[in-house]
Structure 1
Amino acid sequence: MAKIIWTRTDEAPLLATYSFKPIVEAFASNAGIDVETRDISLAGRIIAQFPERLNDNQKLDDALAGLGDLAKTPEANIIKLPNISASLVQLKAAIAELQAAGYDVPDYPDNPTTDEEKDIASRYSKVTGSAVNPVLREGNSDRRAPQAVKNFAKKHPHSMGAWSKDSKTAVATMDDNDFRHNEKSVIFDSADTLKIQLVAADGTTQVLKDDLKVLEGEVLDATFMSAKALDAFLLEQVAKAKEQGVLFSTHLKATMMKVSDPILFGHVVRAFFKDVFDKYGEELLAAGLNGENGLGAIYAGLEKLDNGAEIKAAFDQALQDGPDLAMVNSSKGITNLHVPSDVIVDASMPAMIRTSGHMWNADDQEQDTLAVIPDSSYAGVYQTVIEDCQANGAYDPTTMGTVPNVGLMAQKAEEYGSHDKTFKVANDGTMQVVDSSGNVVLEHEVEEGDIWRAVQTKDAPIRDWVKLAVNRARLSGMKTIFWLDPERAHDRNISDLVQKYLGDHDTEGLDISILSPVEATQVTIDRIRKGEDTISVTGNVLRDYNTDLFPILELGTSAKMLSVVPLMAGGGLFETGAGGSAPKHVQQVQAENHLRWDSLGEYLALAESFRHEQNNNDNAQAGVLADTLDRATETLLNEGKSPSRKVGEIDDRGSHFYLAKYWAEELAAQTEDASLAETFKPVAEVLGAGEEQIAQELLDVQGSAADLGGYYLPSEEKLNEVMRPSATFNKVIDELKK
């Protein structure tokens, strides 16, 4: 049988899987396709790292590594749902839950000193942050809004806040001594093995990484953020927010950039509460309360200090005396600085732009905001959009153009987390990248506390990225822009390669150009307002940012994007949107048994997965499944059967039922495959006749708490019970599966 791999991930997508995957299995089995599960959840990744500590019933294979191997083969057909890009806070919570469930996984060592602790820390480093995506992404990214989704957004526009020309909202970013300005880049003429070392001011040398392999043609970058420059910049922004009467907020990516951005977040917390740290810093730092895990972790840690109440009062007073602080949850007092993973830049900035440039203050009112994004590499993109909205008002979803993205990410290209090559500098000195002959390839003069990092980009992914961009330009007919900054060393090298590799393709009649991110943003939003479409061709970080920014403005959410990764070996990876793993959705299920997660991304990815099966294995029935699923999805949207946010109304489980009903009806009515029509005609009839009863059974369970048996490792039995509450519907689906 042909095989589709469905990933078991975390939080809301995991809950949705237990409702939707049985439907997928049943429909696919009638086209000779098996749907198998691989567990790449945070809990599953942790368990797989410590087999020697677990009994046979607890052990799990390293499914992520196995999928990484599969992604390098032509047979790969993987549907990848959003997973937790685990922060340290989330990792520790998952460890505690596993330990409580009887799993003998070790505590995370904050300051590993022994060989055992260093080994444990090394294993945990493989499961946190952006651990999953680089392993699976053996191809570049093709993300776009499907026409049915775009049409629906135009007919049923989402809310867009009105902008005022008097808006004080702005982005604050560094103009020197940050990652962008300190970057150096080199392209290797031949394969080599490098080492990264710190030559301290006293002449001693510390090797930080000694087995850094590069291939011929590979691009290697190195850069650093000055801690002193960062602190000076942050203090200026705190004062500016206070002076202008706007909210202070910071926007980082502490989950993915799990070494650099938690450190940056700590600097922000310490700057905002400078007076408190000036007075109590010695005690706070000795207790590990440096702000890198957020204000919430500081408050929790203060309970263990003898003078914790006194220090807590100082923090509370600083909140009153300082600038207004943006809130994540006003009613619960959770600020922008409470939890690093609550303010992910690529999600939080578009949401602010969509809401009149406002965030929420402590009184639960909207307010203009100073958005602090320390590194200037891409901050200008958001500032350009903000200035455009201040001048011209909000965008109109009923008329605006679309912005698909072709993203460079294959084989860990531009892996901006670069966890194993990011270091907090221990001593003043010189950070160096040295080749196997002892030659210094790249170096920076650094000071203690600076953040230094290196990033690799292989040649084959760059060639594939250019090819994919040309293919999308030709297929779509859209204007296509490579977003590359001539002021960045890396982008200058990539730009030279892009121009070289464009020569390998027929670009006659295509509108392809290279612009800086700020210029590209302005051209793109000018075209958006005219209803014109523009492909953004970007590196890895901008891929992430743009595939949230533009879809949130166009569609109201990034979860409705089609995300295809044509794998370089010939297989396919189909991602189900960029909507995150939605922890708040899980909390609502636990409280009210209502899942407002929208599985539209899964529907879109599944159709493309079927098409991949059709094309690669000459399976015509898979193509029929794909076409009928697309039509069913459009009907679902037009009939208003997407999940509601409110308890007592249709949720994701109800949406799954209607998708199955419309899909069965399409299969019964199609004339391309008589056997599928014959199989699904009675299914469509039964689901149609039982619609009222099934819909009611799915609604009846709502309104009371749901026990999932765990958060990071929920109970299989309880998940099935909660997510498949309609016996009538279950009977039809279970009988359909071959």
Structure 2
Amino acid sequence: MTDSTIIYTHTDEAPALATYSFLPIIEAYASKAGVEVETRDISLAGRIIAAFSDLLPEDQRAADALAELGDLAKRPEANIIKLPNISASIPQLKAAIAELQAQGYALPDYPDNPATDEERDAKARYDKVKGSAVNPVLREGNSDRRAPASVKSYARKNPHSMGAWSSDSKTEVATMGHDDFRSNEQSVVLPADDTLTIELEAADGTTTVLKDGLKVLEGEVVDGTFMDAAQLDAFLADAIERAKADGVLFSVHLKATMMKVSDPIIFGHVVRVFFKDVFDQYGDDLKAAGLSANDGLGGILAGLDKLPNGAEIKAAFDRALENGPRLAMVDSDKGITNLHVPSDVIVDASMPAMIRTSGHMWGPDGQEADTLAVLPDSSYAGVYQAVIDDCKANGALDPSTMGSVPNVGLMAQAAEEYGSHDKTFEIPVDGTVRVKNAAGETLIEHRVTAGSIWRACQTKDVPIRDWVKLAVTRARASQTPAVFWLDETRAHDANLITKVKAYLPEHDTEGLDIRIMAPAEATAFSLERIRRGEDTISVTGNVLRDYNTDLFPILELGTSAKMLSVVPLINGGGLFETGAGGSAPKHVQQLVKENYLRWDSLGEFFALVPSLEQYAKVAGNDKAQVLADTLDRATGTFLDENRSPGRRLGTIDNRGSHFYLALYWAQELAQQTEDAELAAAFAPLAEKLKGNEQAIVDELLAVQGESVDLGGYYQPDPEKAAKVMRPSATFNEALASF
């Protein structure tokens, strides 16, 4: 790897399969311009193998690519294209382990309750892999995410379907509003570098250190908060009764992938409360069998055949489903409910999809219905309620006229909640949790009860300064109002407001409209402007960055995969993200079933343009800039010609969309006048691709309809995957000869 190499990440599921088709095009075109492209495997399977490489035979070992890229992200030459990866929940992690074991990797099982040193070591290794292990490592900068002009123009000319809303819709958001993370939060700003300790003093006076050696920097914001378990259960019981009384679907919306410690626990509470009678009667049997509510109803049902009274317990679950409110479904045909798998219903994707579909989710009968959307923590629940209120009052949004909400997100150096994993604890006994500095002074203190979920978060000062700078830069560049979504009545936000007000005067804000508003208020303000066709930059923290960059794009564009996502790294490099991967599992299922991949690689096309631009600047390579300029124009043609994957067999899928991008890009390179050498090199390829267009499309369509064998889900066989994803011999030969 040289100082200017582009690193294209190999990830998981549909994005990884698309890479088998698209990367050969990138490599062929880049080679003509002297642009170096390398790959690094940061897939879930790759991360697992790397974590245990010292225990595996030499021919099975893999370097820790994520750690390597984490170091690279701190250097000014960093140029990383990051595709969506699996943020592994426990069920996903266990499934990946089982697949790798079946492929011959001598990996230990994931120990839920480690009893030996070996099991504790295995769990510690796996815990570094699960959840959002990738993003905090690579995101050494803040997020600049927006819809490219070409995408917005296309969406307005070709509006996606939006369900109608009525003022009498019963769809609502249910949230705690008390005794949750939002209401219990305390926040401090560190006056100097320090080392903190988090300890639990039990009611009997014994003290347990939950975490020590926690280094913090001057100006860093540190928060502590907890969700009371008993109050959570009471809230959930009320929500279940409310859904039943109102005749609406019951659904819970969490983020068990990114919030990998807290949200699976909350999910487990939902399962236990919904099936309270079952757990009251059979809870000990389930626990003895290692069947945890935190893993979801699906995992429990799958393990019942091992119990002598499994059929009896299954019947009890069936009765509870019949007697409770109707559950929202992930797949009503297969009986997969909202409570089956914690990672199946991810709030930032599921809530916008519900809002886009008239406030409906799918019921057990396969029909749409109004829904009670349960978001236990009230920190950001008001955002979704504000959108629902707006739709009830004003009807569905119109993609052909609506404005846009780009986002500037504070995420560098594991800012805020997503950096809380190693500081989140399920409290075992009643007592008091304290955060103390090196001098032994208490900075944060909470009285807690057994079962409550306590967490601390950190936000360093340098990322906050950079975030404010990026917000002003984007507001200036687009001449668009920028709103900091911060609530002065929330402890953490109050400290950030003080910093924002201190750092804004460091920049030229003359003539700019920059505001600070609480999230629900900011949502209403942005929606009012959206309906007038006006744009508003949302300047948010880390979790709201995730929520907003799904919410508004799904409403505006029909998907969040078409966003341009640039992370200007604090030390000068660039991380270029290619969109969200929430739909990736369903796409893989369809490919395996009928050899049709609906994954849209538009995000990859968009990310490659600024990556090539950075390469041109760092390497002094003018040809790379020509590649970027022509790719940008080719993507515009791609959209105008509607070459994204179709919705059904017989239309082009992901592989066909890659062919057309390659064709339009080659044509643009052949026609451009900035570099005669590149024009001469690409003219024959452009001619060959155009001349063989029908033959190539026919070859791509011919394979559809039959099931395929990838040799694995989490780690496909490379040869099998390449064969499936590159089925056109004519296209393959054209690239090879080029």
Taking structure 2 as the reference length, the TM-score comes to 0.99
Say yes or no: does 1:604 pair with 2:609: no
1:55-454 pair list within 5 angstroms = 55-416=57-418, 418-454=420-456
Instruction: State whether residues 84 and 580 of structure 1, in contact with CA within 8 Å, keep that contact through their aligned partners in structure 2.
Output: no
Report the alpha carbon displacement of residue 286 of structure 1 after superposing the two structures with TM. 3.1
1:584-616 residue CA offsets vs partner (Å, 9 max, x unmatched): 111111111111100000000001111111233
Consecutive unaligned residues in structure 2, runs of 5 or more: none
Report the alpha carbon displacement of residue 384 of structure 1 after superposing the two structures with TM. 0.3
Instruction: State whether residues 566 and 574 of structure 2, in contact with CA within 8 Å, keep that contact through their aligned partners in structure 1.
Output: yes
Matches of 1:600 and 1:526, distance apart in 2: 29
Report the alpha carbon displacement of residue 193 of structure 1 after superposing the two structures with TM. 1.1
Residue correspondences, number? 736
Report the alpha carbon displacement of residue 226 of structure 1 after superposing the two structures with TM. 0.2
Matches of 2:373 and 2:419, distance apart in 1: 22
Say yes or no: does 1:547 pair with 2:549: yes
1:355-409 residue CA offsets vs partner (Å, 9 max, x unmatched): 0000011111110000000000000000000010001000000000000000000
Report the alpha carbon displacement of residue 328 of structure 1 after superposing the two structures with TM. 0.6
SS at match of 2:184: coil
Q: CA RMSD in A?
A: 1.0
Instruction: State whether residues 429 and 445 of structure 1, in contact with CA within 8 Å, keep that contact through their aligned partners in structure 2.
Output: yes
What corresponds to 1:523 in structure 2? 525
SS at match of 1:288: coil
1:216-250 residue CA offsets vs partner (Å, 9 max, x unmatched): 11110000000011001000000000000000000
Instruction: State whether residues 84 and 581 of structure 1, in contact with CA within 8 Å, keep that contact through their aligned partners in structure 2.
Output: no
Instruction: State whether residues 46 and 124 of structure 1, in contact with CA within 8 Å, keep that contact through their aligned partners in structure 2.
Output: yes
Q: Which of the numbers 10, 13, 21 marks the counterpart of 2:12?
A: 10
Matches of 2:413 and 2:129, distance apart in 1: 18
SS at match of 2:210: strand
1:569-608 pair list within 5 angstroms = 569-580=571-582, 582-608=584-610
What corresponds to 1:35 in structure 2? 37
Instruction: State whether residues 304 and 310 of structure 2, in contact with CA within 8 Å, keep that contact through their aligned partners in structure 1.
Output: yes
Worse overlay, 277-286 or 50-59: 277-286
Instruction: State whether residues 419 and 458 of structure 2, in contact with CA within 8 Å, keep that contact through their aligned partners in structure 1.
Output: no
Runs of 4+ in 1 over 6 A off after TM superposition: none
1:169-215 residue CA offsets vs partner (Å, 9 max, x unmatched): 00000121000000000011111111111100000011111111101
What corresponds to 1:648 in structure 2? 650
Instruction: State whether residues 13 and 588 of structure 2, in contact with CA within 8 Å, keep that contact through their aligned partners in structure 1.
Output: yes
1:331-365 residue CA offsets vs partner (Å, 9 max, x unmatched): 00001111111100000000000000000111111
What corresponds to 1:468 in structure 2? 470
Which letter does structure 2 place at the counterpart of 1:266?
G
Matches of 2:123 and 2:196, distance apart in 1: 23
Q: Which of the numbers 486, 506, 512 marks the counterpart of 2:514?
A: 512
Q: Which of the numbers 556, 559, 562 marks the counterpart of 1:560?
A: 562
SS at match of 2:306: coil
Quick one: structure 1 residues 170 and 283, their matched pair in 2 at CA, closer, same or farther if it must change by over 3 Å?
same
Matches of 1:715 and 1:325, distance apart in 2: 37
Which letter does structure 2 place at the counterpart of 1:461?
P
Matches of 1:227 and 1:558, distance apart in 2: 34
Q: Which of the numbers 690, 693, 713 marks the counterpart of 2:715?
A: 713
Matches of 1:268 and 1:229, distance apart in 2: 12
Of all paired residues, the percent bearing the same amino acid is 71
1:127-161 residue CA offsets vs partner (Å, 9 max, x unmatched): 11000000000000000000000000000000000
Matches of 1:540 and 1:316, distance apart in 2: 39
Matches of 1:644 and 1:134, distance apart in 2: 34
Report the alpha carbon displacement of residue 284 of structure 1 after superposing the two structures with TM. 2.5
Report the alpha carbon displacement of residue 279 of structure 1 after superposing the two structures with TM. 2.2
1:617-636 residue CA offsets vs partner (Å, 9 max, x unmatched): 33221111111111111111
Worse overlay, 100-109 or 534-543: 100-109
Which letter does structure 2 place at the counterpart of 1:14?
A
Report the alpha carbon displacement of residue 417 of structure 1 after superposing the two structures with TM. 5.3
Instruction: State whether residues 190 and 217 of structure 2, in contact with CA within 8 Å, keep that contact through their aligned partners in structure 1.
Output: yes
Consecutive unaligned residues in structure 1, runs of 5 or more: none
Instruction: State whether residues 409 and 415 of structure 1, in contact with CA within 8 Å, keep that contact through their aligned partners in structure 2.
Output: no
Report the alpha carbon displacement of residue 581 of structure 1 after superposing the two structures with TM. 6.1
SS at match of 1:33: coil
1:467-493 residue CA offsets vs partner (Å, 9 max, x unmatched): 000000000000100000112100000
Matches of 2:107 and 2:647, distance apart in 1: 37
Matches of 1:670 and 1:598, distance apart in 2: 27
Instruction: State whether residues 561 and 601 of structure 1, in contact with CA within 8 Å, keep that contact through their aligned partners in structure 2.
Output: yes
Matches of 1:324 and 1:308, distance apart in 2: 24
Matches of 1:526 and 1:290, distance apart in 2: 45
Matches of 1:635 and 1:673, distance apart in 2: 21
What corresponds to 2:727 in structure 1? 725
Matches of 2:38 and 2:583, distance apart in 1: 21
Which letter does structure 1 place at the counterpart of 2:312?
E
Report the alpha carbon displacement of residue 282 of structure 1 after superposing the two structures with TM. 2.6
Report the alpha carbon displacement of residue 415 of structure 1 after superposing the two structures with TM. 3.9
Report the alpha carbon displacement of residue 645 of structure 1 after superposing the two structures with TM. 2.5
